[in-house]
Structure 1
Amino acid sequence: MILPPAAVGVLGGGQLGMYFVRAARDLGYETWVLDPGEGSPAGRIADHHLVAAYDDREALDRMGRACAAVTTEFENVPADALDHLAAVTVVAPGSGSVRVCQDRIAEKTFLRDHGLAHAPFAVVEGGEDAAALPEELFPGILKSARLGYDGRGQASVATPDDLAAAHAEIGGVPAVLEQRLALDTELSVVLARDPDGAMEAFAPVENRHTAGILDTSTVPARVPAALQDEATDLARRVAEALGHVGTLGVELFVCDGRLLVNEIAPRPHNSGHPTLDCCAVDQFEQQLRALCGLPLADPSAHSAAVMVNLLGDLWLDEGRVREPDWAALLAVPGARLHLYGKAEARPGRKMGHVTVVAPEPEAAADGAARARRAVGLPPAPG
């Protein structure tokens, strides 16, 4: 075990890194952040902030010497940086898990090779004969292999004749073409796995998106208990196959009652934010516990919860920046406001979230609807 007051580090200075730093500081660890942004949310609250690129060997060496263990807040950190750090300190998750999750071609191939249910897909490198692709993939969604998130790097493809234009729209980069599916709903499972393979999973979360960006997460998910158990088992199988150590988010589609893995996040997940308020332990403390070899905590929920993402659009009014009516929002019973401290509000940028907790799911849903109205958000997507 790596015990406080040892130093722990995180690659990435966004809100996920910020909550990891908070969890580590609460338990008495010294904290380090490596992130190129001087005003990053995590860097501002850490004991030490290395303002450097993720592949800066000098900065990596300094972090490796100082920290007993290092993790990452997102999958797009160079996997080679994790390998470099692993030569001198404990690193979790390892580069193998991150390499799979940071490239959709690798991710879909991993799911296929391990018999994990997923949407039909084909690799599109460029110059393919669209007519030779499986007919079942149309209509489909073309997704860039790397650096695509929150709906970015994606284009709809109605017929084979549309493939070339769609590929040009996403920059002509390597991609996967996935069959467009009729979804019953979307779920996610966030779990933690320790170095010995022990796992603890939070209850499955039901998610709603707007324009490809997560809008609302509901705990407990409004699906049958048997389907929740199946989702948890599928997420555990993913973690085991990856050999993942740390917190893991697994996004799932429900299609005609059948579960399919959509994407894997080798770190805490946006849909896991309700754990900050509705569980005895949150996803970030579990990340820390797994990294340091501490016993994983009981992830049971003590309340129902609905989380609503607060995007930069909320601050923007006809080109002017305005502060939302936090007084009205905080007057909603059970509302817990989380602002990330980002300096600039931009459309689609995650600036914070509000979670409404209540003893019963109906009360949490009613409170979330009131919170949306309080700050002028439209009703939740159906």
Structure 2
Amino acid sequence: MNKSPKLPQKLMLLGSGELGKEFVIAAQRLGNYVIAIDRYSNAPAMQVADCCEVISMLSAEDLETVVTKYQPDFIIPEIEAIRTEKLLEFEKRGITVIPTAAATNYTMNRDRIRELAYKELGIRTAKYGYAVSLEELILVSELIGFPNVIKPVMSSSGKGQSVVDNPTKIEEAWNYAIANSRGDSQKVIIEEFINFEIEITLLTIKQWNAPTIFCPPIGHRQERGDYQESWQPAGISEGKILAAQEIAKKVTDALGGAGIFGVEFFITQDEVIFSELSPRPHDTGMVTLISQNLNEFELHLRAILGLPIPHIELLAPSASAVILASEKSDSITFTGVAEALAEKDVDIRLFGKPTAHPYRRMGVALAKADNIQEAREKAKKAADKVELNY
């Protein structure tokens, strides 16, 4: 990567959700040309991109068509459901895939990244196993023990994840995981349930020509396997922060390339345990839209383009809280936004998703305050004021 890159660059975004939308905004502020790709029309990032295409990203033929048409300088995946073998081919043609085609192929499946961390790098993870049928799942669950966590090896934002506390719930967990699996995978991972004090995301920025750097750790809370709120800083000891940074650097060094990685950990009283990794901006990292001088999308862009990141500053204790749909609808309006924005140091992002269904994330409330508890309360209060009308 050239230390003084030319701008603009042509960026192709594979997946055009709310995280992609913020990335497009960051990219266009520096004059780049962005092509937004997704499987449905009017996806959030398409609304702000220079142009867009609707394709199946699991189709090698469709990917070939759009790449041939636009000839991008960079291909930037935002989701898991991509025919990643095709990315290896594009990379051989001289197109830069972020973080790399091989890394994207590795991290699109939970089994591959878990095998890399545990077997190849010797990193502590939860005990785990795999199953490709209900019968196999029953056997592996008994070996792992209860409670355990069952989830697809390939999904996004925690979809398809269940905590199973006894054998009678295994079949329900299997059906839920398969129904929410991305791509054509029929494989689930079963994990030991970790009795953690807090879950964190360590946003790890890998650069082409500069050292790996980190954002202050982000704490988060999940329901149904999906994030509900996040806060920064996470409030863990300096020793545990350093331990998490060491693990994150070890894994991302093995993957290579450049860009931001959302590295998730379970923090117990005595341990820092690697959980998962996403090679792109993380949903819990939306808190950085209000908490930092450079948000995670701007950091991702700078790392991709080889632009300097001289300083990451936490502006104030901050939090995010999601705004969820409760019904299925093809026509949504919002009320209560003015009331939510009346509070000092509160911001709202509405993603512009064209359809709603129960528990779909439609927006996020952001808040900063003098301390984390106050920031979390402000964000939750603001999110509760925003009402969806179906």
TM-score band, normalised by shorter chain? 0.7 to 0.9
The CA distance in 1 between the partners of 2:281 and 2:330, in whole Å, is 33
Instruction: Judge conservation of contact 2:323–2:386 (CA < 8 Å) in 1.
Output: no
Instruction: Judge conservation of contact 1:17–1:72 (CA < 8 Å) in 2.
Output: no
Find out whether 1:146 has 2:154 as its counterpart: yes
The CA distance in 2 between the partners of 1:365 and 1:349, in whole Å, is 21
The CA distance in 1 between the partners of 2:178 and 2:77, in whole Å, is 27
1:334 counterpart letter in structure 2: D
Q: Quote the offset at 1:91 in angstroms.
A: 1.6
Q: Quote the offset at 1:79 in angstroms.
A: 0.9
Match of 1:219 in 2: 232
SS of residue in 2 equivalent to 1:233: helix
1:229 counterpart letter in structure 2: L
The C-alpha deviation readout for 1:35-64, integer Å capped at 9, x for no partner, is 23221111121112123232311112223x
1:33 counterpart letter in structure 2: A
Find out whether 1:102 has 2:105 as its counterpart: no
Match of 1:181 in 2: 194
The C-alpha deviation readout for 1:94-130, integer Å capped at 9, x for no partner, is 2221222221221221121211221001122334495
Find out whether 1:331 has 2:342 as its counterpart: yes
The CA distance in 2 between the partners of 1:195 and 1:259, in whole Å, is 27
SS of residue in 2 equivalent to 1:186: strand
Match among 186, 191, 203 for residue 190 of structure 1: 203
Q: Quote the offset at 1:17 in angstroms.
A: 1.3
Q: 1:1-382, aligned counterparts within 5 Å?
A: 1=2, 2-54=5-57, 55=60, 56=62, 57-63=64-70, 65=71, 67-86=72-91, 87-113=93-119, 114-126=121-133, 127-128=135-136, 130=138, 135-147=143-155, 149-152=157-160, 154=162, 156=164, 158-159=166-167, 163=170, 166-167=173-174, 170-171=177-178, 173-196=186-209, 198-313=211-326, 316=327, 323-375=334-386
The CA distance in 1 between the partners of 2:374 and 2:291, in whole Å, is 14
Greater alpha carbon shift after TM alignment, 330-339 vs 84-93: 84-93
The CA distance in 1 between the partners of 2:196 and 2:260, in whole Å, is 26
SS of residue in 1 equivalent to 2:334: coil
Instruction: Judge conservation of contact 2:157–2:283 (CA < 8 Å) in 1.
Output: no
SS of residue in 2 equivalent to 1:20: helix
CA 1:332/1:242 → structure 2, altered by over 3 Å: closer, same or farther?
same
SS of residue in 1 equivalent to 2:204: strand
CA RMSD of aligned residues (A): 2.8
Q: Quote the offset at 1:361 in angstroms.
A: 3.2
The C-alpha deviation readout for 1:72-110, integer Å capped at 9, x for no partner, is 112332212322332242221222212222212212211
The CA distance in 2 between the partners of 1:168 and 1:44, in whole Å, is 34
CA 1:164/1:48 → structure 2, altered by over 3 Å: closer, same or farther?
closer
The CA distance in 2 between the partners of 1:293 and 1:181, in whole Å, is 38
1:333 counterpart letter in structure 2: K
Q: Tell me the TM-score normalised to structure 1 length.
A: 0.88
Instruction: Judge conservation of contact 1:137–1:178 (CA < 8 Å) in 2.
Output: no
Instruction: Judge conservation of contact 2:318–2:375 (CA < 8 Å) in 1.
Output: yes
Instruction: Judge conservation of contact 1:61–1:85 (CA < 8 Å) in 2.
Output: no
The CA distance in 2 between the partners of 1:121 and 1:317, in whole Å, is 35
Instruction: Judge conservation of contact 1:334–1:357 (CA < 8 Å) in 2.
Output: yes
Q: Quote the offset at 1:151 in angstroms.
A: 3.7
SS of residue in 1 equivalent to 2:309: coil
The CA distance in 1 between the partners of 2:21 and 2:173, in whole Å, is 36
CA 1:31/1:321 → structure 2, altered by over 3 Å: closer, same or farther?
closer
2:152 counterpart letter in structure 1: S
Greater alpha carbon shift after TM alignment, 146-155 vs 230-239: 146-155
SS of residue in 2 equivalent to 1:295: coil
CA 1:238/1:270 → structure 2, altered by over 3 Å: closer, same or farther?
same
The CA distance in 2 between the partners of 1:141 and 1:327, in whole Å, is 40
Match of 1:380 in 2: none
The CA distance in 2 between the partners of 1:44 and 1:246, in whole Å, is 23
The CA distance in 2 between the partners of 1:107 and 1:30, in whole Å, is 32
2:349 counterpart letter in structure 1: H
CA 1:38/1:128 → structure 2, altered by over 3 Å: closer, same or farther?
closer
The CA distance in 2 between the partners of 1:331 and 1:275, in whole Å, is 21
Greater alpha carbon shift after TM alignment, 284-293 vs 19-28: 284-293
